[in-house]
Chains A and B, each alone.
Chain A
């Protein structure tokens, strides 16, 4: 638990601190990132103490899946308002998928893997589109943009977790040790994502400092 704690909770906490210090007042898109960080920190921290919870960690994670999809869709729509309708439709369809999965497999027994996979694909597609648009219109090198790092973290995370979760429930049922090892891929991708968020916040702070000095 300790290395897992250091990797996931540590990077999440780092990202949250960077956001609180540097980016909390940087506009609505950054506010959404902050909300997502608070939610993910809360879920990961609660999941560290399963014995003290009245509910299964799966319950927490499955609820969090919905929250994350909504927040990340909102974030994408803030950056590219023309995706508003697609995001609403995507969220509704995926809500139906989530409800069907809940009905079929229960909320507390397993991950809602189909919902997670479809969410990851939708968010990955949206994020790639925004990243592409950013590259079309921005006049400065992309790596200098805080948003670029946010989007890069998202596209790597949501793209990378899809293969892991494709047969996660199956492996968790029959090869729990192996599934635990495989889950390290998700933890590493999660850490990469939150390190990207932390770096984006620091970059934003530097840019704002330079602008203020000018």
Chain B
């Protein structure tokens, strides 16, 4: 009888341990499947978000292109007609000096409108590089005269896709706009490093700010969001009194 009891105990133990083992194995398997399912859902959502962002980007580009064309073909033409009229008036003897000043202002206005029209036209990015666009913009900033803008090009930046160039240029414009508007800086240093992808660094010597305390700032988020659209990351380092530096660089391949 004791023999039977011992056999029963051994079998009972084996059954219990087997049952527990199988249950845990099932738990682990079901859990792994659930994780895989979640990952698939997340991947599908990521694809959907990318599609939405791509559509948004295309719509934005289309709108900007239309606005640029309108500025160039319509507003600039109207202003040119006004310019011609002014020139006619000013060709008369004893032209009023105030009219001369107004004509000069009109000339500058026409030039700015044409430049803006060109900038907004994304088709133009097929012909020019980001380096050229940023250099031209730095020259324009210098011409205004309030801020010195130095452009440094390191290495030979590989040409970027038109979409990437225009988005990075918009991000650059936003950074420069913020620096000119808020920092009180008198020098901007823009570095384009082509040694590992294209890394764009924009530094100012302004009053700076606490970058850690501004994570949810709309403008900063906008810059990061723009960069993310083209697989770039935007990092801002700043401390009060120590200026600000933005680094736009390609995101690591694993997305970290």
B residues near A109, Cβ cutoff 8 Å = none
CB of B30 within 8 A of CB of A160, answer no
Task: Give the complex CA separation of A159 and B15 in angstroms.
Answer: 10
B residues near A170, Cβ cutoff 8 Å = 5
Chain A residue nearest to B2 (CB atoms) is A175
B20 to chain A minimum Cβ distance, whole angstroms, is 5
A191 to chain B minimum Cβ distance, whole angstroms, is 13
A residues near B9, Cβ cutoff 8 Å = 163-164, 166-167, 171, 182, 185
A156 in contact with B17 given A141-B31, A141-B35 (CB within 8 Å)? yes
A162 CB within 8 Å of chain B: yes
Among the 9-residue stretches B21-29, B97-105, B186-194, B197-205, the one with 4 or more Cβ atoms under 8 Å from chain A is B21-29
Residues of A101-136 contacting chain B, CB below 8 A: 128, 131-132, 135
A143 in contact with B2 given A163-B16, A164-B13 (CB within 8 Å)? no
A135 in contact with B31 given A171-B2, A171-B5 (CB within 8 Å)? yes
A139 CB within 8 Å of chain B: yes
Pick from B6, B16, B27, B32: contact of A162, CB below 8 A. Answer: B16
B residues near A162, Cβ cutoff 8 Å = 16
Task: Give the complex CA separation of A135 and B25 in angstroms.
Answer: 12
Number of interface residues of B (CB under 8 A): 23
CB of B27 within 8 A of CB of A135, answer yes
A142 CB within 8 Å of chain B: yes
A159 in contact with B5 given A132-B27, A135-B27 (CB within 8 Å)? no
CB of A138 within 8 A of CB of B31, answer yes
Chain B residue nearest to A166 (CB atoms) is B9
B38 CB within 8 Å of chain A: yes
Chain A residue nearest to B28 (CB atoms) is A142
B residues near A189, Cβ cutoff 8 Å = 17
Residues of A163-182 contacting chain B, CB below 8 A: 163-164, 166-167, 170-171, 174-175, 178, 181-182
Task: Give the complex CA separation of A75 and B27 in angstroms.
Answer: 21
B251 to chain A minimum Cβ distance, whole angstroms, is 17
Task: Give the complex CA separation of A185 and B6 in angstroms.
Answer: 11
Number of interface residues of A (CB under 8 A): 29
CB of A160 within 8 A of CB of B13, answer yes
Task: Give the complex CA separation of A24 and B43 in angstroms.
Answer: 39
A residues near B30, Cβ cutoff 8 Å = 135
B residues near A140, Cβ cutoff 8 Å = 35
A residues near B155, Cβ cutoff 8 Å = none
B residues near A15, Cβ cutoff 8 Å = none
CB of A152 within 8 A of CB of B24, answer yes
Pick from A135, A155, A182: contact of B6, CB below 8 A. Answer: A182
B10 CB within 8 Å of chain A: yes
B residues near A132, Cβ cutoff 8 Å = 27
A residues near B219, Cβ cutoff 8 Å = none
Task: Give the complex CA separation of A163 and B15 in angstroms.
Answer: 10
B255 to chain A minimum Cβ distance, whole angstroms, is 14
A177 to chain B minimum Cβ distance, whole angstroms, is 10
B12 CB within 8 Å of chain A: yes
Pick from A131, A143, A159, A174: contact of B16, CB below 8 A. Answer: A159
A residues near B3, Cβ cutoff 8 Å = 178
B37 to chain A minimum Cβ distance, whole angstroms, is 12
Chain A residue nearest to B38 (CB atoms) is A139
CB of B20 within 8 A of CB of A159, answer yes
A residues near B27, Cβ cutoff 8 Å = 131-132, 135, 142
A141 in contact with B32 given A155-B20, A171-B2, A175-B6 (CB within 8 Å)? yes
Lowest 9 CB-CB distances: which A-B pairs, in order?
A163-B12, A135-B31, A175-B2, A163-B13, A159-B20, A160-B17, A142-B28, A178-B6, A135-B27
Given contacts A156-B21, A167-B5, 15 further A-B contacts (CB under 8 A): A131-B24, A132-B27, A141-B28, A141-B31, A142-B27, A142-B28, A142-B32, A155-B24, A159-B17, A159-B20, A162-B16, A163-B16, A164-B9, A171-B9, A174-B2
20 contacting pairs across A/B (C-beta < 8 A): A128-B23, A135-B30, A139-B35, A141-B31, A142-B31, A142-B32, A155-B20, A156-B17, A156-B20, A159-B16, A159-B20, A160-B16, A160-B20, A162-B16, A163-B12, A171-B9, A174-B2, A175-B2, A178-B3, A182-B9
